[in-house]
Amino acid sequence: MRALRIPFLLTLLLLSTMLLLVACGGGDDEEEDGEDVVAAEQADSTTEASATDAREDVDASATATDEADADEADAEDKDEDRPLDAAVPGSREDVSCALEDIAAGQSADVIDAFTSAYFVVDGKLGAICFGEEDPRLVHAWEVLGVVATADDLGDLVLFAGYDAGPDGDTLAYVSPFDSYDGANVFQMTVNLNASEADETELLLTMAHEFTHIYTATTPQLDRETDAEACDTYFEGNGCYEDDSFMWAWIEAFWSDYIDEIDVDNQDDQGAADDRCAASPEFLGAYAATNPEEDFAESFAAYVFGVPGSPEVEPKFDFFDGNPSLRVFRDRAVAAGHANVTYSFDGCGF
């Protein structure tokens, strides 16, 4: 019996051992499977975190771009709100804005008094090209705009200002010159101290100076014809076209005086005083200086509704009868400057 029991026990032992080994092996597989699941979950978490970080980076970049765009838009709005009445501020390459050029021909004290200058581009006040921005000069530009539009100022390329001393009696002046490309262009310069003293005087002066541009542009004045070949009137820089405003003015009001004018000394104040004393058809001695100053003074008075003597009225009628000139008074009236209170010196006494 004994001899049969020992193999049976051994078999039992072997089977138990095999079952134990199988059980242990299965646990290892389950543990490995569990570790794989944890690793996968950690990988998914890392991927999700990376994606979140990427989205945050994109959002931050988009926010920065939006803020930059907003800042740029604000800057553009500020440019549009500049008190320069300039739609497209700009610069020019065809003229010089150096002090020696914008103050050419002036005395040393006036040259030293220049404070600022702007380019004028397509009839609009553009970038400052000399000195610093000056609200007085900007205001003078706005006053000029009461009468003149950008279309009227296409030949004006520089707008400058200076601070004259207490004895300065010139409120503004216009200088014609040639641009680098040979075009006939103009600079207007304003005495800023004087411009602050009297708003009415500034209104009249800016209208006055505007005529020195308007009547001397290429359609009005032929700068290629010299004095000997001129069939109308040679004013020193050119010959008036036969259909120009100034030639019509000279024929209407200066036929008795034109031969007295010395083109090399057109500002002869003694001769102007004599003409003023002899005839009440001038608004003052300055108007009697030459045809251009007479036109300019009379135009300013007409535009702003300043009354003149009965002898001056035909000159106002000259402007009123020409639609191209009457439009300037219409603009002044629309701007609230219909009947400006002012007294010219008068003549004929």
* Residue 232 CB contacts under 8 Å (≥ 6 apart), including other chains: 239, 240, 241, 242, 244, 247, 250
With respect to residue 245, please indicate whether it lies within any of the assigned structural domains.
yes
* Residue 63 CB contacts under 8 Å (≥ 6 apart), including other chains: none
Among the candidates 214, 241, 258, a domain finishes at 214
Among the candidates 164, 190, 214, a domain finishes at 214
Q: Which helix (H) or strand (E) holds 228?
A: none
Q: What DSSP designation does 256 have?
A: T
Q: Given this model, what pLDDT does residue 254 score?
A: 98
Judgement on whether residues 70 and 103 belong to the same structural domain of the protein: no
Judgement on whether residues 146 and 228 belong to the same structural domain of the protein: no
Judgement on whether residues 203 and 245 belong to the same structural domain of the protein: no
With respect to residue 347, please indicate whether it lies within any of the assigned structural domains.
no
Q: Which helix (H) or strand (E) holds 178?
A: strand 172-178
With respect to residue 13, please indicate whether it lies within any of the assigned structural domains.
no
Q: Given this model, what pLDDT does residue 185 score?
A: 96
- Of 151, 170, 154, nearest to 162 by C-alpha is 170
The per-residue DSSP string of 181-214 comes to: TS-EEEEEEEEHHHHHH-HHHHHHHHHHHHHHHH
Among the candidates 214, 239, 273, a domain finishes at 214
Judgement on whether residues 61 and 159 belong to the same structural domain of the protein: no
Q: Given this model, what pLDDT does residue 204 score?
A: 98
Judgement on whether residues 262 and 325 belong to the same structural domain of the protein: yes
Q: Given this model, what pLDDT does residue 164 score?
A: 85
With respect to residue 286, please indicate whether it lies within any of the assigned structural domains.
yes
Count of domains observed in the chain: 3
Q: Which helix (H) or strand (E) holds 42?
A: helix 2-80
Q: Other CB atoms closer than 10 Å to residue 75's CB: what's the count?
A: 10
Judgement on whether residues 187 and 274 belong to the same structural domain of the protein: no
Judgement on whether residues 209 and 278 belong to the same structural domain of the protein: no
* Pairwise CA distance, residues 26 & 20, whole Å: 10
* Residue 349 CB contacts under 8 Å (≥ 6 apart), including other chains: 277, 280
Q: Kindly report the three-state secondary structure assignment for every residue of 320-348.
A: HCCHHHHHHHHHHHHCCCCCCCCCCCCCC
Judgement on whether residues 209 and 232 belong to the same structural domain of the protein: no
With respect to residue 122, please indicate whether it lies within any of the assigned structural domains.
yes
Q: Given this model, what pLDDT does residue 29 score?
A: 44
For residue 64, report the phi and psi dihedrals to the nearest 5 degrees: -65, -40
- Of 311, 299, 317, 292, nearest to 234 by C-alpha is 292
Q: Given this model, what pLDDT does residue 266 score?
A: 86
With respect to residue 16, please indicate whether it lies within any of the assigned structural domains.
no
Judgement on whether residues 209 and 228 belong to the same structural domain of the protein: no
With respect to residue 260, please indicate whether it lies within any of the assigned structural domains.
yes
Q: Characterize 283-305 residue by residue with b for buried, 16 or more Cβ atoms within 10 angstroms of its Cβ, and e for exposed.
A: bbbbbbbbbbbbbbbbbbbbbbb
Torsion angle, CA of 295/301/307/311, rounded to 10 degrees? 0
With respect to residue 35, please indicate whether it lies within any of the assigned structural domains.
no
Residues of the domain holding 321: 224-334
Judgement on whether residues 205 and 247 belong to the same structural domain of the protein: no
Q: What is the mean pLDDT of each run of 10 residues along the chain (349 residues)?
A: 36 41 44 43 45 43 46 42 46 95 93 96 96 96 97 98 79 95 95 93 98 97 96 96 98 96 90 96 97 98 96 98 98 96 94
Q: What is the pTM of this model?
A: 0.75
Judgement on whether residues 156 and 238 belong to the same structural domain of the protein: no
Judgement on whether residues 187 and 263 belong to the same structural domain of the protein: no
